[in-house]
Copies of this chain bind each other. A is one copy, B any other.
Amino acid sequence: MKSTLELARESGFAKLSIEAVAARAGVGKHTIYRRWPSRGMLFLDAVLSADTQGLVHPDTGDVVADLRAVMTRACDLLGRPPWGPLYQDLIGEAQHDPKVAAAHHERFVKPQTADTLARLRAAKDQGQLAPDFDLDVAMELLSGPLYYRLLVTQEPLTHDYIDRVLRAVFNGMSPRST
């Protein structure tokens, strides 16, 4: 695992081979294949070995602050080196390897979504969210802009950007009748 990460950081996923990982780890390549069916799956395990403890939402009673805490942590972790470029590569690989896509969804996206929704439901119960807000799109509204920067425009993921996304998502585009 350590060998995979070292090699991936040095040369990126595109040049990562099971052979090179086996050589670096000092084992035969069958040892690697026994545990990971493809280099995509090996890479997924390596990337998910990052410390994702900070991605569990606290409940301080202030939903915006709690979302902000996790979003800034996610952006520090997955939006910049060393993990950022590797995570980008992993999502790239998921586009043509359905097994990598499914495993990424199951092991990372799904638990993150469940945790976010639990925090939002609590906020809704406390009247901090509009009672008719469609929670099923909440995760996509909050995470979509981050992934859009990471994968599409590749502009930097800054804390300021997260503040602006949160303000826009909470206030909405329509004029408010005040």
Minimal beta-carbon separation of A38 from chain B (angstroms): 12
A175 to B127, CA, bound (A): 8
Minimal beta-carbon separation of A105 from chain B (angstroms): 6
- B152 touching A165, Cβ below 8 Å: no
Query: Is A88 interfacial (CB-CB < 8 Å)?
Result: yes
Q: How many copies does the complex hold?
A: 2
Give residues 22-47 of A contacting B (CB, 8 Å).
none
- 26 residue pairs from A and B, CB less than 8 Å apart: A12-B96, A92-B94, A105-B154, A109-B153, A129-B173, A130-B172, A130-B173, A130-B175, A132-B171, A133-B171, A136-B164, A137-B145, A140-B149, A141-B165, A141-B169, A143-B152, A144-B148, A147-B152, A148-B148, A151-B151, A168-B169, A169-B173, A170-B173, A172-B174, A177-B177, A177-B178
* Interface of A toward B, CB cutoff 8 Å: 12-14, 88-89, 91-96, 101, 104-105, 109, 127-134, 136-138, 140-141, 143-149, 151-154, 161, 164-165, 167-178
